[in-house]
């Protein structure tokens, strides 16, 4: 008799949202340690280089991870463009509303930018089987 080991599903989670939407807080409530990638920790790069760098997280098919940060939505868009097939992650958690209402104009702009980029890739993510959760 052959016993087949149960397929262990990987959890690859991307948390996106504009400034002050709780991405870091939320990510730290669902995972710890090596599984958590704070995209903002590599902020010394240009926007384009930064999103390219973070997009390579989505190549980690055999790893569990949670990646969060402002640039993650841009990294998702870049990964989808560079990979015509496959899933960048299993789940996208989109945090839409800021937790702090006293935002600078720049912070407000990040919320709008994330919304615009996400609307442009949302259907493609769904078509590729990525689950999407909307939070506030």
Where do the domains of the chain lie, and which CATH numbers do they carry?
12-135 (3.40.50.300)
Tokens of 14: 């991307």
Is residue 4 scored above 60 in pLDDT? no
User: Does pTM surpass 0.85?
Assistant: yes
Predicted confidence at residue 100, as pLDDT, reads 82
Closest to 53 measured CA to CA, from 71, 26, 80, 32: 71
pLDDT in tens, 30-42: 886 778 988 877 7
Give the integer Cα–Cα distance in Å for 83 and 59: 10
Residue with more model confidence, 113 or 62: 113
């Amino acid at each position: 008799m052959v016993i087949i080991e149960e397929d262990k599903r990987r959890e690859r989670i991307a948390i996106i949202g504009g400034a002050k939407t709780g991405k870091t807080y939320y990510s730290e409530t669902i995972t710890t340690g090596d599984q958590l990638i704070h995209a903002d920790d590599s902020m010394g790069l240009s926007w384009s280089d930064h999103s390219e760098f973070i997009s390579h997280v989505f190549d980690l098919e055999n790893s569990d991870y949670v990646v969060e940060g402002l640039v993650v939505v841009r990294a998702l868009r870049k990964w989808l463009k560079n990979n015509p097939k496959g899933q960048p992650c299993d789940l996208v958690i989109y945090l839409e509303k800021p937790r702090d209402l006293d935002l600078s104009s720049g912070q407000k702009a990040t919320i709008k930018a994330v919304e615009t980029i996400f609307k442009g890739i949302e259907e493609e993510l769904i078509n590729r089987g990525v689950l999407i959760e909307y939070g506030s």
